């Protein structure tokens, strides 16, 4: 994240006669790249948000799944000016498809009559009018899991954290064994999460994906899918959240076989 680019974008919006209000970011192990925002960039982004009168929507579904015990502080933790609205999900930390999330929104909202409430209260009202209600059953399951583990997500997810670390480590090791030393293939090393990007020396489009799946039984996602315009034509996203370690090893071997034919 380039704070200078944020400032420039905000200036362009104002020049068009509109008012920039918020910036959406996934600072930890973002999908699809698996990249994270360094601590220095977080401070710079928060400074730009204050300067430009912007709110930052920090979406953090993957932050708990770091490869090491030491984590970079969230933007919300670093926020001293109530610029960050923190968005969380229980889909990764409790059960997939939970459709239950939460927002930490402690920004004051002044009503026309001068009364002051919190943004969280206003978001709650808007949600009640747009979705009526989140599934009570899903809420009860999530609530029960939290209560069982003392409302501590890290304790609840100790086994998941270990498993996802193991799988990401296995993916990185397999890439090193199968692609290491070949200058045509480069990949990033995420600090956690489920995703990484492999740069390849061929066009990674739908036709290539079809051949990979049909002839070698391995799936990946073209990075071009994640671009609004041109980009990512020679990059693929790999995900390791679902597979066991031996399946990851086999998948990377098959991927290597496909690349030799590509």
- Which of 125, 156, 187 marks a domain boundary? 156
Buried b (16+ CB within 10 A) or exposed e, 232-258: bebbbbbbbbeeebeebbebbebbbbb
> Would you call 206 exposed, middle or buried from its count of C-beta atoms within 10 A (0-12, 13-18, 19+)?
exposed
| Residue found under tokens 């994270």 | 36
203 pLDDT exceeds 80?
Answer: yes
The H or E element containing residue 258 is helix 245-261
Buried b (16+ CB within 10 A) or exposed e, 60-75: bbbbbbbbeeebbebb
Question: Are 152 and 176 contained in the same domain?
Answer: no
Residue 121 tokens read as 């209260």
Mean pLDDT, residues 33-45 taken together: 97
Question: Are 101 and 10 contained in the same domain?
Answer: yes
Question: Are 115 and 182 contained in the same domain?
Answer: no
Residue 206: give its domain's CATH number.
Answer: 3.90.1150.10
Percent of the chain with pLDDT over 70: 100
Dihedral angle over CA of 213, 219, 225, 231, nearest 10: -90
The H or E element containing residue 49 is helix 39-52
Q: What is the pLDDT of residue 34?
A: 97
What are the residues whose beta carbons fall under 8 Å from the beta carbon of 228, sequence distance 6 or more?
Answer: none
Question: Are 64 and 40 contained in the same domain?
Answer: yes
Question: Are 109 and 40 contained in the same domain?
Answer: yes
Question: Are 55 and 137 contained in the same domain?
Answer: yes
Question: Are 162 and 253 contained in the same domain?
Answer: yes
Q: What is the pLDDT of residue 129?
A: 86
Question: Are 117 and 22 contained in the same domain?
Answer: yes
Residue 145 tokens read as 């899991």
Spatial strand order in the sheet of 22-25? 22-25, 55-59, 84-89, 101-104
**pTM confidence score:** 0.91
Question: Are 177 and 64 contained in the same domain?
Answer: no
Angle at 48 between CA 192 and CA 19, to 5 degrees: 115
- Which of 98, 126, 156 marks a domain boundary? 156
> Would you call 160 exposed, middle or buried from its count of C-beta atoms within 10 A (0-12, 13-18, 19+)?
middle
Q: What is the pLDDT of residue 146?
A: 96
Residue 73: give its domain's CATH number.
Answer: 3.40.640.10
Of residues 114 and 132, which shows the higher confidence score?
A: 114
Mean pLDDT, residues 223-234 taken together: 96
Question: Are 115 and 228 contained in the same domain?
Answer: no
- Which of 156, 173, 203 marks a domain boundary? 156
What is the residue range of 29's domain? 3-156
The number of folded domains in the chain is 2
Q: What is the pLDDT of residue 135?
A: 87
Q: What is the pLDDT of residue 261?
A: 87
What digits encode the pLDDT tens for the residues 125-157?
A: 998 888 777 889 999 999 999 999 999 999 999
Question: Are 147 and 42 contained in the same domain?
Answer: yes
Mean pLDDT, residues 175-200 taken together: 97
Question: Are 148 and 118 contained in the same domain?
Answer: yes
């Amino acid at each position: 994240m380039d704070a200078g680019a944020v400032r420039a974008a905000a200036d362009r919006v104002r020049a068009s006669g509109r008012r920039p209000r918020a910036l959406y970011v996934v600072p930890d192990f973002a999908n699809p790249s698996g990249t994270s925002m360094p601590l220095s960039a977080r401070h710079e982004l928060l400074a730009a948000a204050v300067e430009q009168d912007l709110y930052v929507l920090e979406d953090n579904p993957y932050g708990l799944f770091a490869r090491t015990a030491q984590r970079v502080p969230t933007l919300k933790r670093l926020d001293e000016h109530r610029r960050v609205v923190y968005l969380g999900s229980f889909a990764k930390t409790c059960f997939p498809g939970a459709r239950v999330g939460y927002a930490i929104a402690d920004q004051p909202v002044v009503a026309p009559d001068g009364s002051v409430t919190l943004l969280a209260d206003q978001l709650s009202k808007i949600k009640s009018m747009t979705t009526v209600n989140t599934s009570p059953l899903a809420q009860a399951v999530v609530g029960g899991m939290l209560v069982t583990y003392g409302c501590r997500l890290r304790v609840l997810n100790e086994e998941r954290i270990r498993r996802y670390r193991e799988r990401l480590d296995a993916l990185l090791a397999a890439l090193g064994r199968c692609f290491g030393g070949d200058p045509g293939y480069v990949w990033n090393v995420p600090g956690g999460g489920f995703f990484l990007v492999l740069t390849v020396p061929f066009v990674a489009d739908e036709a290539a994906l079809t051949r990979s799946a049909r002839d070698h039984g391995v799936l990946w996602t073209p990075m071009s899918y994640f671009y609004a315009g041109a980009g990512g034509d020679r990059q693929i996203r790999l995900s390791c959240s679902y597979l066991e370690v031996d399946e990851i090893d086999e998948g990377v071997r098959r991927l290597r076989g496909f690349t030799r034919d590509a």
